[in-house]
């Protein structure tokens, strides 16, 4: 999958900030099938859009393109909004690649884009800028200045500009619409299985093993340390599978959070204790799949109390993984 920041060279009439949204050297292909959104978590609703986009692209010999924004538009309009992300960008891109998307374009959401009229967004950016021939959006999709554009406008513009539109219904279950906000709420409440059911896939976190403070080794639990985005929505203690330490997938237990017992307002870190394994993993790229939730992150009054709880966590993780 090709990943690009910004757009191919645009027509002079397009009122975008070329410094942040032009991708030098790119070109407009014969045509693109596009889907648009933040796609945080790539849940079942997002997957319905992606499946339609890829199906149309294969059928009509188009490039299956996902157009997303950074920062999230809600955060751009209100910087006080705390909007935790469900997946880091690298893991989001890996998941999109596995689903058949040919190209992911990350578009800077800036003032110029926020003030662009809905029709200009479609005509200049999507059709002229990206060669769009098909667009897949959700039924509640809104776009353009003050969210003036909707699916009715898209269908009218499609008839005049020569592109087709697929409006995909929201995915619902017995508890309502599947959404990123709902999944964040499940994570915050420790409702792991409910969140995974809405996502429709597991959570795999990738990173390069870093040198830490060696505290885990001192306590008898040497860990692989991976830095995570500070705005990640997921935290807690988990049973995990680890790939990247050789040919065999390894079982383990992991802490994902800010280490409240040993640090004050520390950065987000994934610490993984791998069962029955010894070796030097520093500098290795590994993938840690969170299997099941054990408990929330907690503050302990002493390292002794924390170590006792870690022994219980280890036993529970082994039971969950049947190790």
**For the segment 282-303, what is each residue's pLDDT rounded down to a tens digit?**
999 999 999 999 999 988 888 8
Question: Across the chain, what does the average pLDDT equal?
Answer: 88
- What pLDDT score was predicted for residue 94? 95
**Which range has the worst mean pLDDT, 6-20, 50-64, 164-178, 289-303?**
6-20
Residues 279 and 240 sit within 8 Å (Cβ to Cβ): no
* In the chain, % of residues over pLDDT 90: 70
Angle separating helix axes 180-188 and 192-199, nearest 10 degrees: 160
Fold adopted by 202-321:
Elongation Factor Tu (Ef-tu); domain 3 (2.40.30)
- What pLDDT score was predicted for residue 21? 44
221 vs 279, more confident: 279
Q: Return the structure tokens found at 90.
A: 């690298």
Q: Is the predicted pLDDT of residue 20 greater than 50, yes or no?
A: no
Sheet holding 63-70, edge to edge: 2-5, 103-108, 63-70, 32-36, 132-138, 164-168
- What pLDDT score was predicted for residue 14? 37
**For the segment 186-211, what is each residue's pLDDT rounded down to a tens digit?**
999 999 999 999 999 999 999 999 98
* Most confident region among 179-193, 212-226, 299-313 by mean pLDDT: 179-193
| Domain range annotation of the chain | 2-173, 202-321
Q: Which residues contact 248 (CB under 8 A, 6 or more apart)?
A: none
Q: Return the structure tokens found at 3.
A: 């990943």
Distances (CA, A) of 136 to 32, 33, 56, 65, 73: 11, 8, 10, 10, 19
Q: Which residues contact 12 (CB under 8 A, 6 or more apart)?
A: none
Residues 313 and 263 sit within 8 Å (Cβ to Cβ): no
**What is the homologous superfamily of the domain 2-173 according to CATH?**
HUPs (3.40.50.620)
Tell me what the mean pLDDT of segment 43-61 comes to.
Answer: 98
Instruction: Give 11's pLDDT tier (boundaries 50, 70, 90).
Output: very low
39 vs 215, more confident: 39
Distance between CA 277 and CA 295 in Å, rounded?
Answer: 24
Distances (CA, A) of 257 to 22, 25, 226, 227: 36, 40, 11, 10
SS (H, E, C) the chain: CEEEECECCCCCCCCCCHHHHECCCCCCCCCEEEEECCCCCCCHHHHHHHHHHHHHHHHHCCEEEEEEEECCHHHHHCCCCCCCECCCHHHHHHHHHHCCCCEEEEEECCHHHHCCCHHHHHHHHHHHHHCEEEEEEECCCCECHHHCECHHHHHHHHHHHCCEEEEECCCEECCEECCHHHHHHHHHCCCHHHHHHHHCCCEEEEEECECCCCHHHHCCCCCEEEECCCCECCCEEEEEEEECCCCCCEEEEEEEECCCCCCCCCCCEEEEEECCCCCCCCCCEEEEEEEEEEECCCCCCCHHHHHHHHHHHHHHHHHHHCC
Distances (CA, A) of 144 to 118, 126, 180, 286, 309: 4, 12, 21, 40, 51
pTM over 0.85: yes
Tell me what the mean pLDDT of segment 24-42 comes to.
Answer: 76
């Amino acid at each position: 999958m090709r990943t690009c920041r910004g757009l191919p060279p645009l027509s002079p009439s397009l009122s975008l900030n070329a410094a942040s949204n032009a991708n030098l050297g790119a070109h407009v292909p014969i045509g693109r099938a596009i889907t648009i959104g933040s796609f945080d978590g790539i849940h079942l609703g997002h997957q319905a859009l992606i499946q339609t986009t890829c199906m149309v692209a294969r059928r009509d010999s188009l490039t299956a393109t996902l157009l997303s924004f950074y920062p999230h538009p809600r955060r751009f309009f209100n910087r006080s909004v705390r909007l935790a992300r469900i997946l880091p960008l690298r893991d989001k891109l890996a998941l999109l690649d596995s689903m058949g998307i040919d190209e992911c374009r990350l578009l800077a959401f800036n003032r110029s884009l926020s003030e662009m009229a809905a029709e200009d967004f479609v005509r200049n950016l999507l059709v002229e800028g990206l060669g769009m021939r098909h667009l897949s959006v959700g039924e509640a999709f809104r776009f353009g200045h003050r969210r003036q554009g909707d699916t009715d406008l898209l269908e009218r513009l499609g008839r005049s500009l020569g592109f087709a539109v697929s409006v995909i219904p929201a995915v619902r279950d017995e508890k309502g619409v599947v959404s990123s906000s709902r999944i964040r709420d499940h994570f915050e409440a420790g409702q792991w299985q409910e969140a995974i059911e809405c996502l429709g896939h597991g959570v795999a976190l990738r990173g390069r093993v870093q040198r830490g403070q060696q505290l885990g080794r001192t306590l008898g639990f040497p860990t692989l340390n991976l830095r995570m985005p500070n705005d990640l929505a997921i935290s807690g203690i988990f049973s995990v599978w680890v790939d990247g330490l050789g040919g065999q997938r390894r079982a383990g237990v992991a802490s994902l959070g800010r280490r409240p017992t040993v640090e004050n307002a520390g950065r987000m870190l994934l610490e993984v204790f791998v069962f029955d394994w010894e070796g030097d993993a520093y500098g290795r790229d590994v993938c840690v799949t969170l299997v099941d939730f054990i408990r929330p992150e907690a503050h302990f009054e002493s390292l002794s109390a924390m170590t006792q709880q870690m022994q219980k966590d280890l036993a529970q993780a082994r039971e969950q993984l049947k190790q």
